[in-house]
Amino acid sequence: MTITQTLRHTDAARADWVRACRVDDLEPSWGEAVLLRMRQIALFLLGPREVYAVAHEDPANGAPVMARGIVGSRGDRPTVASPLHKEVYDLGTGDCFTDPSLALHTFRTRIVGGFIEIELESP
C-alpha cells in the first residue's frame, strides 16, 4: 500500500509500474532524480509511505532541475518550488500556484516491498 498521486497526461490503460529505487535511498523532504525509460523523474519522500514523482524538467524553461527544488506546502498541499525561477507547484497535481499557465507533469507512485515504483507509459 502507498499514497497514490493523480496521473497527469498519461493513459492509465497503457501504463506499467516501474521500480525506481529503495525507499531507504531517499532522504525525507529532499529530491532525487532517477532515469526511467529515458525520462528524468524527480522523487520526493515526504513521509514513510508518502512519495511523489514529477518530471525533472522545469516547466518554465525545460532545465532538468526540479529534484533540487525547495519542498514546502501551501495549506495542506505538498509543494516544490523551482530552484531557478521559484514557481511553486503542487506535488500531487502539478498545478502551479504562482503561474497558472504552467503545469508540472506528475506520476502515480506506490511502495512495494520497500521499493518505490512509478507508473509510466508502456513503451
Residue 73 backbone zone (phi > 0: left; psi -120 to 50: alpha; other: beta) = beta
Q: Give residue 22's pLDDT.
A: 97
Q: Give residue 122's pLDDT.
A: 83
Q: Give residue 1's pLDDT.
A: 34
Task: Calculate the average pLDDT of the chain.
Answer: 91
Residue 2 lies in a domain: no
Residue spans of beta strands (DSSP E) within 1-123:
15-22, 31-36, 39-47, 50-55, 70-74, 77-81, 88-90, 106-107, 109-112, 115-121
As for how many domains the chain has, the answer is: 1
Residue 48 lies in a domain: yes
Q: Give residue 52's pLDDT.
A: 98
Residue found by looking up cell 511502495 in the block? 111
Residue 7 lies in a domain: no
d(CA 111, CA 59): 27
Q: Give residue 13's pLDDT.
A: 64
Domain of residue 53, residue span: 12-121
Average pLDDT over residues 86-100: 97
Q: Is the pLDDT of residue 3 over 90?
A: no
Whole-model pTM? 0.87
The residues pairing with 34 across neighbouring beta strands, listed in sequence order, are 41
Query: Between 14 and 118, whose confidence is greater?
Result: 118
Residue 111 lies in a domain: yes
Residue 21 lies in a domain: yes
CATH code at 58?
Answer: 2.102.10.10
